Structure 1
Amino acid sequence: MKSLYSILFSLWGVAALADPSFWKHEWPNTDFSVSSVENWVEIMSGGPGRDGIPALVDPEFEPVAAKSGLGAREAVIALEMQGEARAYPLRYLMWHEIVNDEVGGVPVAVTFCPLCNSAVSFDRRVGGQVLTLGVTGKLRASDMVMYDRESESWWQQATGVGIVGEMTGVELASLPSWMESWESFAARNPEGLVMKTPTFRRHYGKNPYVGYDSAARPFLYSGENPPHGIHPLMRVVRVGARAWPMSRLEEAGELREAGVVISWMGGKASALDSTTLAAGRDVGQVRVRDPSGADIVHDVMFAFAYHAFWPEGRWMLGE
């Protein structure tokens, strides 16, 4: 059986027809006459069709103390708000990419795009309406294109901005969340909650993208490489339109620049390295706060994706 890695690699350069009329049979309720996409060639099939990667809605949780089966260094996405602390293990998001949840009365979407290593959480409320997000199966600059089930508009995961349909130009409000090790989350939040194993039949805990973050180039990406000789699959910490290379953060331990405090520590396994998530090499974890200690919205993504969506962004190289 082919790995998802090899299947995606075989799709390199084989895009779906770059014509919205081709997609209307699958998306009859999407208004393709409204879009910010300048060239439809930018959007291509990632392999699975609409909902072929099934987003989760209203997942179940269990106490941190009751959870078993997670490796200490396994990555989770931590969301702490309204007095609640929840962990969303990447072993589940690897196969579902979006979790529609409600935390402290706030409808949220916790998202993860494996091909960009991008993990961003959003408030699902737009103009008084609560959206439910799903996976289109399409990619743009190798980043997941999401959709909302209410208007069937398409959204860019890395930016949270609507790109096709009536929601074009609308930006979802991002929420402070971060990737850290299960051990780190559990130690800080012994009374917290962690997502239960979904009921789908998936190889949870396995990595379908073995060796991806040490590959020579990204999958299904034909854009420019990052400047300054930065490897396209180097992890960077993005805060707004600025990006800090993870290698610089690892060396410094902590940086105070541009009004933010970024702290690095080891102990988190890469989810895109070894056959199992728990065995991935240590790629470190960061917290991004303002000078008062409050968490700040950020993302830890691959350098090529940052350059694709923030081509005029500022690289924080310490020069």
Structure 2
Amino acid sequence: MKRTTFYWTWIILISCVAGLCYAMYWFYRIPPAIEPMEGSAFAESWSGNGSILTVYTPAFESVAAADQYLNDNGLGLDVEINGKHRFYPYQILVWHEVINDLFDDVPVLVTYSPLSDTGMAFERTVDGEEMVFSVSGSLWNNISIFVDATSGSRWIQLYGRAADGEFVGKELRPIMAKTISWSDWKAAYPHGDVLTRDTGATRDYTRNPYGNYAATPAVWYPLTSVDARLDAKTVVYAVSVGNLRAAYPADVITSIGEARETVGGVPIEVTFDEALGTVRAYRLELDGNAGDELVVTRGFWFAFAAAYPGIHLYELP
């Protein structure tokens, strides 16, 4: 009897260890490249059960009030409209992903995709009509997808473009949104407004529901392509140059401070703004001076590489 019990104990133990190893393998592996079709990497996330609540009527508070709970090193989006600044902390956005705001009479859509770590803002109008968006519960290449209330079309965050439905192919106009730490933002804009925890939902905004996801090499859902030039979760800053994107590894651009090159025939300058602790980019004029500022999006390499196969990657000379 004792021998039988001992035998089954070992069988159960070995099975548990094997199961754990198998689970860890699938958790830490990067999915192989599959055929690059926009619809092939759609996936339903756990948010499909309605646990992520869209914010439709955001409230704002002072820097002093927000400073009581925001982490100094925590990141967020700085959105500027007509010289006014608002800060949308990732501590809040990670729980909601989509904020429908009206900022100085401009309909603004603020979005954050936790799995790709990309934050972007857009004007939420299509063909001159104001739109309302919500979390879809779907992902594409681990990038969050939002849906409009008018047609139910699904919009891929990194493109700001509808992937299906009545508005397929339509694009939202991006708004300059800089990824900045709370400590840098409050120092630069002490009189700015900060998205408050008064979202209508009961959430612990001091906790990240994704745990240590950002610190592991895991990519949770399939990718349309994998680019091995960088590790999947290397943080990069992607500069929008027309329809093209150029990626600059965060550690490289913060180290050298400035890079000048030509992307798609357009001369640009990419700089690390020490005062704001973020990366900015500009078109270069004929005289070599900085011209119009370009949209820069911070996030994980795998997302940009999948969304823009063959994306230009800056390398040190």
- Same fold by TM-score greater than 0.5: yes
Deviation at 1:44, TM superposition (A): 1.4
1:114 aligns with 2:114: yes
Deviates more, 1:118-127 or 1:52-61: 52-61
Q: What residue in structure 1 maps to residue 281 of structure 2?
A: 288
Deviation at 1:254, TM superposition (A): 2.6
What secondary structure, in the 3-state scheme, does the structure 1 residue paired with 2:306 have? helix
Q: What residue in structure 2 maps to residue 257 of structure 1?
A: 261
Q: Distance in 2 between matches of 1:81 and 1:308?
A: 31
Pick closer, same or farther for the CA change 1:286–1:205 going to 2, 3 Å.
farther
Q: What residue in structure 1 maps to residue 171 of structure 2?
A: 171
Q: In structure 2, what residue type is equivalent to 1:91?
A: Q
Deviation at 1:79, TM superposition (A): 0.4
8 Å CA contact 2:268–2:282 kept in 1: the answer is yes
RMSD of aligned Cα (Å) = 2.5
Q: In structure 2, what residue type is equivalent to 1:311?
A: P
The 5 A counterparts of 1:98-177 are: 98-177=98-177
Q: What residue in structure 2 maps to residue 199 of structure 1?
A: 200
Pick closer, same or farther for the CA change 1:125–1:248 going to 2, 3 Å.
same
Q: Distance in 1 between matches of 2:212 and 2:275?
A: 19
CA offsets 1:86-136 (integer angstroms, 9 cap, x no match): 001111000000111011211011110010011110010111111111111
The 5 A counterparts of 1:15-164 are: 38=37, 40-49=39-48, 51-67=50-66, 68-164=68-164
Pick closer, same or farther for the CA change 1:267–1:212 going to 2, 3 Å.
farther
Q: What residue in structure 1 maps to residue 211 of structure 2?
A: 210
Q: Distance in 1 between matches of 2:65 and 2:210?
A: 29
8 Å CA contact 2:61–2:196 kept in 1: the answer is yes
Q: Distance in 2 between matches of 1:224 and 1:41?
A: 11
Pick closer, same or farther for the CA change 1:218–1:142 going to 2, 3 Å.
same
8 Å CA contact 2:37–2:224 kept in 1: the answer is no
Q: What residue in structure 2 maps to residue 279 of structure 1?
A: none
Structure 1 unaligned regions, length at least 5: 1-5, 14-36, 269-283
8 Å CA contact 1:82–1:103 kept in 2: the answer is no
Deviation at 1:81, TM superposition (A): 1.5
Deviates more, 1:147-156 or 1:198-207: 198-207
Q: What residue in structure 1 maps to residue 180 of structure 2?
A: 180
What secondary structure, in the 3-state scheme, does the structure 1 residue paired with 2:166 have? coil
Q: In structure 2, what residue type is equivalent to 1:47?
A: W
What secondary structure, in the 3-state scheme, does the structure 2 residue paired with 1:66 have? helix
Higher helix residue share: 2
Q: Distance in 2 between matches of 1:195 and 1:293?
A: 31
Pick closer, same or farther for the CA change 1:40–1:242 going to 2, 3 Å.
closer
Q: In structure 2, what residue type is equivalent to 1:264?
A: F
Q: What residue in structure 1 maps to residue 17 of structure 2?
A: none
Q: What residue in structure 2 maps to residue 242 of structure 1?
A: 246
Q: What residue in structure 2 maps to residue 276 of structure 1?
A: none
Deviates more, 1:193-202 or 1:302-311: 193-202
Q: Distance in 2 between matches of 1:188 and 1:266?
A: 11
Q: What residue in structure 1 maps to residue 221 of structure 2?
A: 220
Pick closer, same or farther for the CA change 1:115–1:39 going to 2, 3 Å.
closer
Deviates more, 1:209-218 or 1:190-199: 209-218
Pick closer, same or farther for the CA change 1:51–1:127 going to 2, 3 Å.
farther
Deviates more, 1:83-92 or 1:48-57: 48-57
CA offsets 1:6-26 (integer angstroms, 9 cap, x no match): 9xx88x99xxxxxxxxxxxxx
8 Å CA contact 1:91–1:204 kept in 2: the answer is yes
CA offsets 1:232-262 (integer angstroms, 9 cap, x no match): 1001111121111112113212323344433
Q: Distance in 1 between matches of 2:38 and 2:232?
A: 23
What secondary structure, in the 3-state scheme, does the structure 2 residue paired with 1:87 have? strand
Q: What residue in structure 2 maps to residue 277 of structure 1?
A: none
Q: What residue in structure 1 maps to residue 296 of structure 2?
A: 298
Counting matched residue pairs gives: 272
Deviation at 1:296, TM superposition (A): 2.4
Q: Distance in 2 between matches of 1:164 and 1:52?
A: 24
Q: Distance in 2 between matches of 1:52 and 1:103?
A: 26
